[in-house]
Chains A and B, each alone.
Chain A
Amino acid sequence: MISVNPGSELKEKVTSSIFIGAATISSLLLLAMLLFLLRESWPIWSQVGITGFLGGAVWRPVITPPQVGIMPMLVSTLWVAGGALLIAAPMGFGCAIFLAEFAPVPLAALLRPVLNMLTGIPSVVYGFLGAAVLVKFFEVKFDLGSGESLFAASLILAVMVLPFIVVNSETALRSIAPEYRYAGIALGVSRQYLVLGILLPLARKGMLGALALAFGRAMGETMAVLMLAGNTLKLPVSWFAKGEPLPALIALELGSATPGSTHYQALFAAGLVLVLMVIAINLGINLLLHRLQKGVNSV
C-alpha cells in the first residue's frame, strides 16, 4: 500500500489496532465464559472424570452418593438437533434456491419479509405453541400416551432454524459471480441443472456455514425443547421417544439446584459440554471448508 502522507501510516496502524483489539476482546468473551463454566464445574471433572460424566447413563444428582452421567442427554441433544437439520435442510435449501433463482419477483418480494418475520417469532412463542398445539395433536392423531417426543422438538426446531438456513444459503447463492449463470445459459443446460450441478457446489461454503450456524442454534435452544421433548431420563431409542437435551436439563434443574452442591456443579459441567460440542461442530465445518477452499468465492 502506497501512502502519500507519512502521518497516515501511523493513523492506519492505530485504527487497525482498534479494530483488531475490539474483535479480539469481544471474542475473548467466549473464553471468559468457558473459564467460568470450568471453574464452577471443576469438582465434577476431577472426581467423576470426563468418561464417567459423558458416558454415565444414570443421572441422579441428589442422592448420596450423587450419580452424574449425561449420556442420555448427549444423545438427546444430538438427535434433536440433527433431526431438526434433517427436516429443515432440504426445505431450507429448496427455499433458498427458489428465492435466488426461480421465484417470480413479486413472490420473492413477498417471501423475504415472511422469512424475516419467522426469525422474529421468539422461541418462547414457539415453545408455547408447540406445547399447546403440537403435543396435543400428536396425542390425538397417533393415540399416544403423551405427545412429547424428540421428533416434536425437532419439528419445532426445524421451523425455528429454517429462516437462518434460507437466508444464509440465499446470500451464498446470490454472491456467486454471474459469469457462471451466463456460461450455463450459453451451454443450454436447464436452470435446474444449473442450480444443482454448478451453483450449489460453488455455494457450498456458505451453505455449510448456514447449516453449522443452524445446528449450533438448534443444540442450544432451550425454551422449545423444554416444553416438547418430554424430559425423561431414559436413553431415547428412537426419534419418537422422549428425551432430555442438555439445554432442557440445565433450564429445568438450575433453579432448584443448591449452589455449590454436586448437582449445581454437574449442571455447569453439562453447560460446558454443550458449548464445547458447538465449538467442535464449528471447528469441524471449518476444517472441511478449508479443504474446499479452492472455490472461486473464497472470502
Chain B
Amino acid sequence: MNIKEYILSGIVESYVLGLANAEDAAEFERMSAAHIEVRQAREEFELLLEKRSLENSVAPPRNIRSKIFSELQIESDRYLDENRNISTIQVEEAKSPAPVVKMNWLKWLAAASVILLLGSTALNFYFFNRYKHYSAQYDQLVARSAELAKNEQALRTSLQEYQNSLSHIRDTNMAVVRMAGSSVPTSPDPTSAATVYWDKKSKDVYLLVNNMPAPSSDLQYQLWAIVDGKPVDAGVFDMKEGVIKMKNIPRAQAFAITLEKKGGSASPTMEQMYVLGRV
C-alpha cells in the first residue's frame, strides 16, 4: 500500500476520531512522523472536524463556567504553590494577567474584608465599653473588699480582747478582787466599781472597769496595790472596754483606784480615791 492509498484508507478519520485500535494508532503515528503527506491529511481532517464542530456548537448552561472556574481557582493556587520553588519566573507569568474570574473573586474578598473590618470595629467598641463598665465595677469591689477586710480586722481585734477577758475571768488561778465606791466613805462617786483579776501564779494584774466616771483629759486613773498598809503603784490606765493589763504585783492585801494627774503620781491623792477592794 503506498502513502496515497494509506491516506485514503480511512485510517486518518479513524485515528482522529479515536476509533483506531492501539496497533493501527501506533502505526499511524509512525507514518505521520515519517511522511508529511500523512501529517497534512490528518491536519486537514482535524481542521474540517473542528470547523464543523464549532458551527454546531451548543451553548452549555451559563452556571457551568463559574463552577469550572471556581474549581480551577483552587487547582490554580495549588499548582502555583507546588511550582513556586521550581521556577519563580514561571509563577509570575502564570499569575500576572489577572483573570476576570480571579478579579471577581478578589472583589468579593475585598468586600467581605471591609464588612468584617466594620463588624470588628463595632465589636471592639462594644467590648471596650463593656470592659470600662466591668473595670469600674471591679475597682468598686476591690475598695469594698478592702473596707470589709479592715472591719473584719477591727472585729477580730475586739473579739480577741473579749476572749482574753473571758479567759482571765474563767481562769481558776485568778483571784478576783472587787473594788467598790461604797467601800470608800470619801469616794467622789460611790457608785463606782472595778475588778482586779490577779494571777496567783504569775502575779500579773488585770483590771476591768465596771463603772467609773470618765475623767477630764488632763487626769488619769491610777491603780494602787496596798502592801502592808503602804500604797504601791500598779500603773495608770485609760477608760476602755475589756481587760487592761496592769503592773505585776507580787504581794498585796488590797487594791484601790485614785484619780491623779496625767501620767500618775508617786503617792495616791487620798481625797480622790474612787474604789477600794480587799483581796
Chain B associates with chain A = no
> A-side interface residues toward B, CB under 8 Å?
none
